[in-house]
Amino acid sequence: MLTKNQIKLITSLDQKKFRNQHQLFVVEGKKGIAEFLNSTFELYHLFATEPTFKVNDEKFTLITESELKKISKLKTPNTALALFKIPNTKPVDESKLILALDDVRDPGNLGTIIRLCDWFGIKDLVCSNATVDCYNSKVVQATMGSLTRVNVSYLDLEVFLKAHKNDVFGAFMEGKNVYEQMLPDKGVIVLGNEANGISATIETFVNTRISIPRFGNLQATESLNVATATAILLSEFKRGSTEK
């Protein structure tokens, strides 16, 4: 049975302010919750319509389907909703390839990008402070559990890039053809905001401007979506490592 205070707490976590205050975020659905339970993330509380997972009694509340509907953000709630603690971010490993986002705003895009980092073995995703929060429930849903395996750091991107020792690549509409570049196994790849691309301030830290060539029609779509551009760039940076 859900208490009013529990409903109030869960609902408040829609807002970044309250996620930060309580240091908690929401994961919905059995599959996602299983991934977080099997990771280093710490469970705060589990609400479910059936006792699917083995968790301490004091961390579990059996609820009805109509109670789940009250707290769920999904159109078709999937038996369970859990609150996990927001972990401390680990230090960024600057000796590896790092992906950096300059103000990506769409939760679906960030979720897809975190999933891509996981697939391509990118351990560190660094985000400008204005990038959408990775503990936003839409992002968490879109990552399909990948958030448990990618270290997402929010920081002042300008300060981070100023101190970074390796090459900084930036994705632009005009730049060197990414297919013709020697791409290293360390450094930073920066992708910009959906509408405005990489900001002028961050652009000054880019050593190499790279671009995904457009084929055929010059009238073609004005740009690729930031998540599909990320897919292609990570594939290009990583494909070499299988050929070695």
Residues 176-215, interacting with a copy of itself (CB under 8 A)? 177, 179-180, 212-215
The single residue listed with the structure tokens 């961390």 is 59
d(CA 68, CA 58): 18
Q: Which is nearer to a copy of itself, 22 or 123 (CB)?
A: 123
Q: Which is nearer to a copy of itself, 125 or 161 (CB)?
A: 125
Half-sphere exposure of 73 (CA within 13 A, CB side): 18
Q: Which tokens hold the place of 105?
A: 């705003």
Among 190, 225, 212, 227, smallest CA distance to 113 is for 227
If you count them, how many residues does the chain have? 244
Tell whether residue 220 is a contact of a copy of itself (CB under 8 A). yes
Which of 119, 153, 164, 203 forms a contact with a copy of itself (CB under 8 A)?
119
Q: Which is nearer to a copy of itself, 203 or 236 (CB)?
A: 236
Which range binds a copy of itself by CB under 8 A, 21-29, 45-53, 80-88, 232-240? 232-240
Q: One symbol per residue from 122 to 151: x for binding a copy of itself (CB under 8 A), - otherwise; what is it?
A: -x-------------------xxxx--x--
Nearest distance, CB of residue 133 and a copy of itself, angstroms: 20
Q: Residues binding a copy of itself: what is the number (CB under 8 A)?
A: 41
Which letter, b or e, does each residue of 171-207 get, where b requires 16 or more Cβ atoms within 10 Å of its Cβ?
Answer: bbeebeebeeeebeeebbbbbbbeeebbbeebeebbe
Q: Which is nearer to a copy of itself, 5 or 221 (CB)?
A: 221
Q: Which tokens hold the place of 51?
A: 């006792």
d(CA 91, CA 97): 14
Q: Which residues bind a copy of itself (CB under 8 A)?
A: 108, 112, 115-116, 118-121, 123, 143-146, 149, 177, 179-180, 212-217, 219-222, 224-225, 227-229, 231-232, 235-236, 238-239, 241-243
